Amino acid sequence: MIMVLARNWWALALRGLVSIVFGVIAFAVPGPTLSALLLLFAVYAFVDGIFAIVAAVRAAERHERWWPMLIEGVAGILLAVVTFIRPAVTLIFLVSMVSAWAIVTGVMKVVVAIRLRRHIQGELVHVLNGVISVLFGLFLLLIPGIGLLAIVWWIAGYAVFRGLLLCALSYRLWRHHRRAVRPPGARVA
């Protein structure tokens, strides 16, 4: 396996460069990036819904439980249609879900920290963690546009970081490949 990767080091380098370029573009123009990601999600949800309905039909033909897959498929297609027609609704829903998650988990962290104070010291760190989570959730709820921008920036940052790691790996594989194809006794330059 290592030799296959080493011989194709250039493919990893290319993937890394594409990832870096995507990340830089996402940082530079987050609005169009978010729109493209939303469109990609809609296509995915639609195709996934179609496949779920096909699976439901096949299950029904075999007299197996089919209705959960049918519901999943219809839900996926409806989500795709809503995303295509009203993308803002999907974005608001996404930010609202992240916001609700942050608030609920933050409250739970505070509750757990209060219960932990009888058993350990330093529970204030956990309280602070919970309070920050609640504040983050409220911030997203009140200013959802910033949350969407943050999501794009996280994706962009991940893409750049991943691209750099792939480029570093491709360089190491290139060096490994160069040593492996060198004839025995050849001098190292």
pLDDT in tens, 62-112: 898 899 999 999 999 999 999 999 998 888 888 888 899 999 999 998 888
Cα–Cα dist 154/162, whole Å: 12
- How much is the pLDDT for 184? 64
Q: What is the pLDDT of residue 78?
A: 95
Domain boundaries of the chain, sorted by first residue = 2-181
Q: Report the distance separating Cα 61 and Cα 88, nearest Å.
A: 39
Q: Which pLDDT score is estimated for 37?
A: 86
Average pLDDT over the chain reads: 88
pLDDT band at 185 (very low <50, low <70, confident <90, very high): low
Neighbour-count burial of 102, counting CB atoms closer than 10 A to its CB (0-12 exposed, 13-18 middle, 19+ buried): buried
pLDDT digits (tens, 9 = 90+) for 108-162: 988 888 877 777 777 788 789 999 999 999 998 898 888 888 888 988 999 999 9
As given in the structure block, the two tokens for residue 70 are 């049918």
Cα pseudo-dihedral 127, 101, 163, 38, rounded to 10: -160
Global confidence as pTM:
0.62
